[in-house]
Amino acid sequence: MKILIQKGWAYCLISAALLSCTTVDSVKPETTQVKNVIMIIGDGMGPQQVGLLLSYARQAPHSVIANRITALDRMMEQGRLGISMTYTADTLVTDSAASATQLATGKFAGAEMLGLDKDGNFQENIIEKARRMGKSTGLVSDTRITHATPAAFAAHQTHRSHENSIPEDLLATGADVMFSGGLSYWLPEQAGDKNSELHQQLVQMTGNGFEIKSSRNDTKNLLNIAQQQGYTLAFNKAQLQQATGKTLGLFADSGMENGIVETQNRGDALHVQPTLKEMSEQALEILGRNKQGFFLMIESGQIDWAAHRNDTGLLLHEMLRFNDTLNAVLDWAENRQDTLIIVTADHETGGFGFSYSGADIPKPHSLPGAAFADGTLFQPNFNFGNPEVLDKIYAQQLSYHDIFSRFDKLPKDRQTPLKLTELVNRYTEFKITEAQAIKILATEANPLYRAGHVSLGEKIVPKMEVNGAFFVYQKENRENLLAQAVSASQQVVWATGTHTSTPVFVFVKGEEQTMRLFAKILHHTQLGRLAIEALQ
């Protein structure tokens, strides 16, 4: 009886609280309007990749993250968290084009299409809508501007691979700032000819910071068209930082530098290529001048590339680049009530995780607690992973891709398993043996390594295999195999070379009434619609 009364009483209290809460809401004196929406997409940044950043920040003995507080921790001090499903209209798993289309239009899309709904109808994207409202718009990515994610916010194409047509769509949509890599998709075929006047001109214009070539199969010079449309061009950090208005910034021939290279050059004022953070800061500086507000999409796009390759060290540096960029955005928006920041991913890549194993099980050891006072030793059954591995992951000096590029540049007769062993062991903390290198190279076209089986002296070593169905990028298989070779010592597993359907996080920070709408289990089409509605 007593319990029942207490229950009833508590219920009344809750009802009263709800009632008073509703009353407070209805007489809320002022609702600040959202003027600016900044959407930050970590491509491939599923909960697992966020987890790597958080593990590193909190547990690495020598974490480089100040006070071990990530930008996501900062965001969640006043932010809200939702989760979102990323599937397309008719598939379980999405690619970046469909996912970003769903975010940009709020409509279900088909895999690998840009700016179209599932049936192939043109759909207005958030940049086009924002422009109609008189707002400024921007796209920033550390991949290339014609790549799936930025393209989905401004182009309409039946396939993401139409990178010759995407620049023209980008110009037609006319975002005020576009900062990324991918210059080669804007240059006519003849630009690649080192003797041509155009080539010389471009070398001058770009400050000779990177290779000038063309990825086009026609003679269109889209830089000229961009200039006719009022864009100022920027090709390096100095030019970026002078930009004040409508600017097309193309800072690499194709993809921009990777996260490890960025870490190594962070803080170098003379470094030619701007960082994702620097591009984002300049975009905010320019777009923030519009009193009507703006929409800005920032992509930390190489998280996905690192994860496709199962390159854990590179992945960590990509997450640090994301963290740096988000910190800068939070600094810019500090004390602003008119700006909504949305951080999400288009999907998870790689099925990454730290995992406990039966390898290198720690030895039985004594513990100081009372339960062990009689001298009983604590005996673990498994190896749950030592946080010191996080510092070793951070210490990687070259991406797997760059290690293999160096390997490929050697004369053919020096491309031996021993040489690969030396390279891996020089640039990473996770050492491999020559026998492992033989297995990694067993799939190569190089006749030194016969497919099927390879010989190591007298012994026949079976080749190491990736699960072909899910490791679809053959050129990257050697990197996937290297990841498998160091898996136990890294304490890391990778499930796939492609994407997974794992729901992704949605971090939001901004005006309370708007922000709370995102704190749900969403689908990316809903998330896209909420972003569009927030702008209106």
Task: Tell me the one-letter amino acid at 489.
Answer: S
Other beta carbons within 10 angstroms of residue 233's beta carbon come to 17
Which residues in 414-450 are b (16+ Cβ under 10 Å) and which e?
A: ebbbeebbebbeebbbbebeebbbbbbbbbbeeeebe
Question: Cβ closer to Mg ion: 98 or 212?
Answer: 98
Nearest approach in angstroms of CB 299 to Mg ion is: 6
Question: Cβ closer to Mg ion: 191 or 283?
Answer: 283
Largest CA distance in the chain: 95
CA atoms within 13 A on the CB side of 75: 27
Nearest to 438 by CA among 428, 429, 448: 448
DSSP E strands, 292-415: 294-300, 339-345, 348-349, 352-354
Task: Tell me the one-letter amino acid at 322.
Answer: F
| Residue among 34, 39, 43, 152 that touches Mg ion (CB under 5 A) | 43
Nearest approach in angstroms of CB 151 to Mg ion is: 9
Interaction partner, residue 149 (Zn ion, Mg ion, none; CB < 5-8 Å by kind): Mg ion
Question: Cβ closer to Mg ion: 51 or 255?
Answer: 255
The Cα 203–Cα 350 span in angstroms is: 38
Interaction partner, residue 479 (Mg ion, Zn ion, none; CB < 5-8 Å by kind): none
* Interface with Mg ion, residue 149, by CB under 5 A: yes
Report how many residues bind Mg ion under the rule CB under 5 A: 4
Question: Cβ closer to Mg ion: 42 or 249?
Answer: 42
Nearest approach in angstroms of CB 147 to Mg ion is: 6
**What is the C-alpha R_g of the chain?**
26
Q: Which 84-103 residues touch Mg ion, going by CB under 5 A?
A: 96
Q: Which 145-174 residues touch Zn ion, going by CB under 5 A?
A: none
Task: Tell me the one-letter amino acid at 58.
Answer: R
Residue pointed to by tokens 């020096």: 414
Residue pointed to by tokens 């804007």: 186
| Contact pattern from residue 17 through residue 56 relative to Zn ion, giving x for each residue in contact according to CB under 5 A and a dash for the rest | ----------------------------------------
Q: Which 96-135 residues touch Mg ion, going by CB under 5 A?
A: 96
Judged by CB under 5 A, the stretch of 62-70, 190-198, 275-283, 300-308 that binds Zn ion is: 300-308
Question: Cβ closer to Mg ion: 346 or 444?
Answer: 346
Question: Cβ closer to Zn ion: 173 or 300?
Answer: 300
267 sits in the region (left: phi over 0; alpha: psi -120 to 50; else beta) called left
| Residue among 82, 115, 188, 301 that touches Mg ion (CB under 5 A) | 301
Question: Cβ closer to Zn ion: 304 or 311?
Answer: 304
Nearest approach in angstroms of CB 475 to Mg ion is: 18
The Cα 297–Cα 96 span in angstroms is: 14
Tell me what percent of the chain is helix, strand and coil, each rounded to the nearest 5: 45, 15, 40
Helix/strand/coil (H/E/C) assignment for every residue in 120-134 = CCECCCHHHHHHHCC
Interaction partner, residue 500 (Zn ion, Mg ion, none; CB < 5-8 Å by kind): none
Judged by CB under 5 A, the stretch of 39-47, 454-462, 481-489, 503-511 that binds Mg ion is: 39-47
Token pair for residue 470?
């899910």
Judged by CB under 5 A, the stretch of 193-201, 221-229, 276-284, 296-304 that binds Zn ion is: 296-304
Nearest approach in angstroms of CB 498 to Zn ion is: 7
Decide the pairing of beta strands 177-181 and 247-250: parallel
Nearest approach in angstroms of CB 485 to Mg ion is: 28
Report how many residues bind Zn ion under the rule CB under 5 A: 1
| Residue among 117, 163, 262, 304 that touches Zn ion (CB under 5 A) | 304
Nearest to 481 by CA among 311, 303, 260: 311
Query: Across the strands, what pairs with 96?
Result: none
The binding site for Mg ion (CB under 5 A) comprises 43, 96, 149, 301
List residues binding Zn ion (CB under 5 A).
304
